[in-house]
Structure 1
Amino acid sequence: MKRSKKLLQKVTAGLKTLGPGLVTGSSDDDPSGIATYSQVGAQFGFAALWTALVTFPLMAAIQEMCARIGLVTTKGLTSNLRNHYPKWTLWVMIIFSFPAIILNIGADIAGMGAAANLIVPKVPSFAFSIIFTGLILAAIIIFPYQKVAGILKWFCITLLVYIAVPFFTAVDWKAVLKSTFIPQITWSKDYINALVAILGTTISPYLFFWQATMEAEDIRQQGGTLVVDKRMITKMRGDVDSGMLFSNIVMFFIILTCGSVLHPHGVKSIQTVEQAAAALRPIAGDMAYWLFSIGIIGTGFLAIPVLSGSLSYMFAETFGWKQGLDKKFFQAKPFYGVIILSLVIGVLLNLVGVNPVQGLLYAAILYGLTAPVIILVVLHISNNRVVMGNEVNGRWSNILGWLTFVVMASAAIAMLYLEFYS
């Protein structure tokens, strides 16, 4: 009993020491990610499991670059672009990022509403979406985000139930291992679309902005006079790697769960949140809807402030506004104004009548199309000695960074080719 208590205390203490990397990794498994991985598992079974293995070093490398940029310069990506690059590069980045982030916010809000409707069917999904949006706005304006995230990250633990499900069902583990270590790529529109969606939802541009800005804010809150040394860089890398590893483990098991529960029973297209929740039935039974809904709502509450906050930081850094989720509303009205506007637009997108699951998938695909451009920007900044001094990329950072760009750009080009010429 004492050992269990000590272990729990160590785990809790370890979680508390983790910084922006854990929050970033957790928010990466937002409703958009859950919907994407569920759809891929249902449609292709285990065929895409290898992507979890491949995307981990790629996403960790890019997020580490962004974190290092924020740590060294005490500024976000947008501020560094504004200070060191032509204005057109800044606007290209905003133009590429804005639509995807807004669609992601709208799709996440819709997903949260649909998930809550599973529990209380008498209340319309749109009503829940409005309620959740109001609660998120109130939480963002009243409380510092770090405090809210510190509570909400525990909701993400519900996603770990996906890890348990395969062990309660008949799974061909030999096929799982084969699909994990031997990539299976099918030259078809559906498969390439799924691949772009996976890449887009794991290596999402909004996370680049958020990671850099949060690292910069951490330094500024400590007085902004800290000298960045190897110890700080090592600690940051451990934090980023932990967050990205958590994100990819959850991704792997969502695909595995849906591939073992839904795909063999002919459910190869998830159109509703009910179908996605059904993947948890082998272990949760009638509680499946509750667990799934809590996971979707919890990750939505965690991710939407990150989405809207990253957008707001972009505009604030572009126009020189006062910024920071730790500031009161009256101290940074334009900054909070962008957050409010983005959430209102997100809610209004629900009136268009897009299926929540499809909307979440479209958001992931849009990220997959826009990410290569942002990756080029991150690579250039992190190799610029004028900006980074001696903390420019090392050999392996550049190899993984350029590999990420090539993989994502190739997948996006293949998708567009198949869309127009197949």
Structure 2
Amino acid sequence: MKNYLKELGPGVLVSAAFIGPGTVTACTLAGVNFGYSLLWALLLSIFSCIILQEMAARLGVVSQKGLSDNIRAELKKPVSRFLALGLIFSAIVIGNAAYEAGNITGAVLGLQVVFGEQYLSFANFDINLWSLLVGSIAFIILWIGNYKVLEKIFIALVLIMSLAFIITAIVVKPDISQLLSGFIPNNISTGILGVIALVGTTVVPYNLFLHASLVSEKWKDKKYLKTAKIELIIAIVLGGIVSMAILVCGAASGLESVNSAIDLAEGLKPVFGKYATWFMAIGLLSAGITSSITAPLAAAYVVKGCLGWKTDLKSVKFKAVWAFVLIVGIFCSSLKIQPIKLIQFAQIANGILLPVIAIFLFWVVNKDSVLGNNKNSLLQNIFGFVVITIAIFLGVKSIITVW
């Protein structure tokens, strides 16, 4: 057990990254609107996430480079390299900057459930003090620039988040028979938008870049491939259980409609008392903080790979990228600015990016020159093809929705 705990890290960061405020809200809405009937969609999400993230982890351990580094190295023609890296760069960096405001706001909502709103008036602006606090915490953790410290902080936050949401799910006393029936697909067309939201918030494009880079920093030898795979599966399954717990809270709450997780937390108060509300708030706070850290970190790794930087976590250039993403998020969140155009661009770009990156990843992990004997097997290619098909469907649907 002690040896296993030492190996925890990259997979935990990936699960922490996809369980952000967006996932909390998507799972909450799925539970309130469709009861337990979309639990099977979360199983599909977990399966898809494991397939793609395992490829990214294997690529990172064997090649000792991130995904964007490998794409840059394998695309020999300047034009195709420029177009591919340009799409990746713009979608991840600008997209993460736009979504960072949502990540910070999610953590702020968790604080506001318990402590109320706190604003500071300055030059005709009302600045949200909680946004500044959350942003400052994320900034300090990233500024430390020590991977081992980062791992320990994330493991602690994920454990807190997991316990908070799972305990809340137990407190609301779900109907076990209905819960189990939710793992069997039934009348899929009714909740198709809910299915898209659940899969889309679990299979995250920037996590593929983040994971490949993190494992290359943690494990320096191919002998750790099995360890990386086991650690990944356990972490993502745990993340899936947390997502299911959030959906269960929404389904068991008895509420007819909510707009976000904050409404669910308030709605639980008169029925299940302050404890359920507290646990929900703690979970939302932890989810917001973890996503507030991983989004800027992933953006920095993408820029590093796209531009061919030979840097590390303590590099000034590396810090400048994540600081830009984080500061944009703090600014938009603290001033209640809704960066609609940026978010629309991010949604369209990510809608295109998910299947494109999945295809690039699929291409790279099948190359002898990159992975040699560790390239994809026939079974892994079959699973990968299925997941890419799902990614293409999600991408087209998200583009049409925004358009």
* Counterpart among 169, 181, 184 of residue 184 in structure 2: 181
Whether the aligned pair in 2 keeps the contact of 1:136 and 1:305 (CA below 8 Å) is yes
Whether the aligned pair in 2 keeps the contact of 1:73 and 1:387 (CA below 8 Å) is yes
Residue aligning to 1:5: none
Whether the aligned pair in 2 keeps the contact of 1:197 and 1:364 (CA below 8 Å) is no
Once residues 275 and 253 of structure 1 are traced to their aligned partners in structure 2, the CA distance between those partners, rounded to angstroms, is 16
SS of 1:389 mapped into structure 2: helix
Residue aligning to 2:134: 132
Residue aligning to 1:349: 332
* Counterpart among 91, 96, 115 of residue 96 in structure 1: 91
Return the offset for 1:311. Answer: 0.5
Return the offset for 1:279. Answer: 6.2
Pair 50,361 (structure 1): closer, same or farther in 2 beyond 3 Å: farther
Whether the aligned pair in 2 keeps the contact of 1:75 and 1:216 (CA below 8 Å) is yes
Once residues 39 and 342 of structure 1 are traced to their aligned partners in structure 2, the CA distance between those partners, rounded to angstroms, is 28
Return the offset for 1:60. Answer: 0.4
Pair 170,309 (structure 1): closer, same or farther in 2 beyond 3 Å: closer
Q: Which amino acid aligns with 1:79?
A: D
For residues 163-312 of structure 1, the aligned pairs below 5 Å read 163-169=166-172, 171-186=174-189, 191-219=191-219, 224=220, 226=221, 228-229=222-223, 232-261=224-253, 264-266=254-256, 268-271=257-260, 273-278=261-266, 281=269, 285-312=273-300
For residues 355-370 of structure 1, the aligned pairs below 5 Å read 367=350, 370=353
Once residues 115 and 172 of structure 2 are traced to their aligned partners in structure 1, the CA distance between those partners, rounded to angstroms, is 29
Pair 152,59 (structure 1): closer, same or farther in 2 beyond 3 Å: closer
Residue aligning to 1:112: 107
Return the offset for 1:123. Answer: 1.2
SS of 1:206 mapped into structure 2: helix
Pair 285,369 (structure 1): closer, same or farther in 2 beyond 3 Å: farther
SS of 1:27 mapped into structure 2: helix
Return the offset for 1:15. Answer: 3.3
Once residues 172 and 30 of structure 1 are traced to their aligned partners in structure 2, the CA distance between those partners, rounded to angstroms, is 26
SS of 1:265 mapped into structure 2: coil
Q: Which amino acid aligns with 2:311?
A: Q
Residue aligning to 1:377: 360
Once residues 416 and 409 of structure 1 are traced to their aligned partners in structure 2, the CA distance between those partners, rounded to angstroms, is 11
Pair 37,355 (structure 1): closer, same or farther in 2 beyond 3 Å: farther
Q: CA RMSD in A?
A: 2.9
Once residues 60 and 37 of structure 2 are traced to their aligned partners in structure 1, the CA distance between those partners, rounded to angstroms, is 37
Pair 321,368 (structure 1): closer, same or farther in 2 beyond 3 Å: same
Q: Which amino acid aligns with 1:186?
A: S
Of residues 58-67 and 17-26 in structure 1, the stretch that sits farther from structure 2 once superposed is 17-26
Q: Which amino acid aligns with 1:140?
A: L
Of residues 397-406 and 207-216 in structure 1, the stretch that sits farther from structure 2 once superposed is 397-406
Runs (5+) with no aligned partner, structure 1? 1-9
Once residues 368 and 37 of structure 1 are traced to their aligned partners in structure 2, the CA distance between those partners, rounded to angstroms, is 20
Whether the aligned pair in 2 keeps the contact of 1:76 and 1:213 (CA below 8 Å) is yes
Pair 179,361 (structure 1): closer, same or farther in 2 beyond 3 Å: farther
Once residues 340 and 244 of structure 1 are traced to their aligned partners in structure 2, the CA distance between those partners, rounded to angstroms, is 27
Q: Deviations over 1:29-63 (max 9, x none)?
A: 12222122112212222221111221222110100
Once residues 410 and 41 of structure 1 are traced to their aligned partners in structure 2, the CA distance between those partners, rounded to angstroms, is 23
What is the TM-score normalised by the length of structure 1? Answer: 0.83
SS of 1:301 mapped into structure 2: helix
- The reply to whether residue 71 of structure 1 matches residue 46 of structure 2 is no
Residue aligning to 1:6: none
* Counterpart among 369, 391, 396 of residue 408 in structure 1: 391
